Amino acid sequence: MPNPLPSLLLLPPPPVPITSASLSAAYRPSLVAVVSTLKVLSTSTQLIVVLPCPAVHAQLQAPRCQIYTELQRSLAGLYSLVCIVCANLGVDVESDTPGSIDARILLLDYDGSQHFEEEGELRPDPFVAGPIVDLPTLAVTRRQWNIVFSVDGEEGQKIFASYLKLANHRSPSLHGHVMTVAGGVSLIQRETEPVPRKPASANTHNVVAVGGTFDHLHAGHKLLLTATALLLQPARSSSAPHRRLIVGITGDELLKNKKYAEYLSSWAQRQEDVVDFLLSVLQFARGSREAEIETLSFDEPIPNGRSIHTRLKNCSIVIECVEIQDPFGPTITDESVTALVVSGETRSGGKAVNDKRAEKGWKHLDVFEVDVLNAGETEQGASQTEVFSSKISSTAIRKRRAEIALTSSL
């Protein structure tokens, strides 16, 4: 049975400044309507949520580290809000049961003042890759949907109309049932005094790394992987070197003492889940996914165990999933790595990695951190921390599966 088509939510531009409260005011009504619609379907749904990023328009060829903080903060805020809405509505976010939702956020290079050519063949940048893309690329390469959700209001309808016009410029036309959902309140607050910013690094990165267990892929993992991809400097030509996104995935042997270990996914399954997610936010090609990627497996003895490389042919990116047997993985066996992305829980690991590299006489890595996903407070003021945390904790997910299995056996 073929997988169901994904659904699309095109959001209007975000409020300024971006905070938990302003995101909730702007997007919560839309997300509630979308989740309420999808939760009653007879299949699970992969929901692609598109977030415009006018603040970084025309800055995408600058060193990515200069826009990293702002973009990952937007991602963290929106992923948190999606999890809050799903928790409040009792929607499963980590399985493929009917009515469950697998939300994935794309960033859109869009500022509202752009005019898109209608004449001639649309030719998106052939080297473009996510997780931030322009509207013509999205429209040309992503046109088969179950439901397309547009947001009511001037800005929401403007971006939807542009997407629709671009998508229908080619044959066959856009596929999907269109549904308009309520919009929220999006305020633009002008700063009375400029906020001083630390001078941004001019470093660019073609080899970036991240590590983790990645068991039962959840929103925290999605943020970590998207933020890592965000750091890869865009290619400017076909002669640009391959960009490498290295994902260290903890080997099965190191996890046998984890809580509810019998419900851990295998390394092979976790690797497949990581690649599936990354392809959904990185790959924007006209051909089929299968035709546009090449997969190579390395099972012979190498410094960190087995490795599976997935090459995206159109944009010169290689996703390297490596089995790790220690806390360091490829960061201390591959000198070409220049950046590492960590979470608040693994912050100390970045320093340990750089200490090891210093012992070898290697350059230290630029270490970048992602925000912690935060439940905040509901409109009623009641804390949703416990329910929310169960959506972004692999241990909690395994515990819930153990409890379901126990109940089923009674």
Q: What is the pLDDT of residue 192?
A: 43
Please write the tens of the pLDDT for every residue from 306-350.
899 999 988 889 999 999 988 899 999 999 999 999 988 778 889
Say which DSSP state 103 is in: E
pLDDT tens, 92-150?
A: 887 788 999 999 999 999 988 777 765 555 566 667 889 999 999 999 888 899 999 99
**Closest by alpha carbon to 309, among 258, 273, 275, 350?**
275
61-65, 220-224, 312-316, 376-380: least confidently modelled range: 376-380
d(CA 399, CA 238): 47
- 10 Å CB burial of residue 260 (0-12, 13-18, 19+) is middle
Helix segments in 199-323, DSSP class H: 219-230, 267-282, 289-292
Residue 184 scores a pLDDT above 50: yes
Instruction: Measure Cα distances from 124 to 133, 134, 275, 286 in Å.
Output: 10, 8, 24, 10
More confident residue, 295 or 200: 295
Q: What is the DSSP letter of 60?
A: T
Beta-ladder partners of 296: 309
Closest CA to 246 of 201, 200, 304: 304
Residue 379's CB is within 10 A of a number of other CB atoms, namely 8
- Nearest CA to 331 out of 309, 349, 319, 313 is that of 349
Q: Per residue in 30-55, pLDDT tens?
A: 999 999 999 999 999 999 999 999 98
Given a contact cutoff of 8 angstroms between Cβ atoms, the answer to whether 167 and 144 are in contact is no
The DSSP element (H or E) to which 26 belongs, if any, is helix 20-38
According to DSSP, the β-strands at 207-212 and 243-250 are: parallel
Beta bridge partners of 308: 297, 321
- 305 by DSSP, 3-state: which? coil
**pLDDT at position 301 over 70:** no
Question: CA angle, corner 198, sides to 195 and 199, nearest 5?
Answer: 120
Would the pTM of this model clear 0.85, i.e. be above it? yes
Quote the strand ranges of 290-377, DSSP E: 293-298, 307-312, 317-324, 339-342, 366-369
| Residue 174, SS3 per DSSP | coil
The dihedral of CA 196, 338, 107, 111: what is its sign? Answer: positive
d(CA 118, CA 1): 38
| pLDDT 10s digits, 279-291 | 999 999 877 777 7
Beta strands in 29-182 (DSSP E): 45-52, 101-109, 132-134, 144-151, 175-181
Residue 265 and residue 337 in contact, taking contact as beta carbons nearer than 8 Å: no
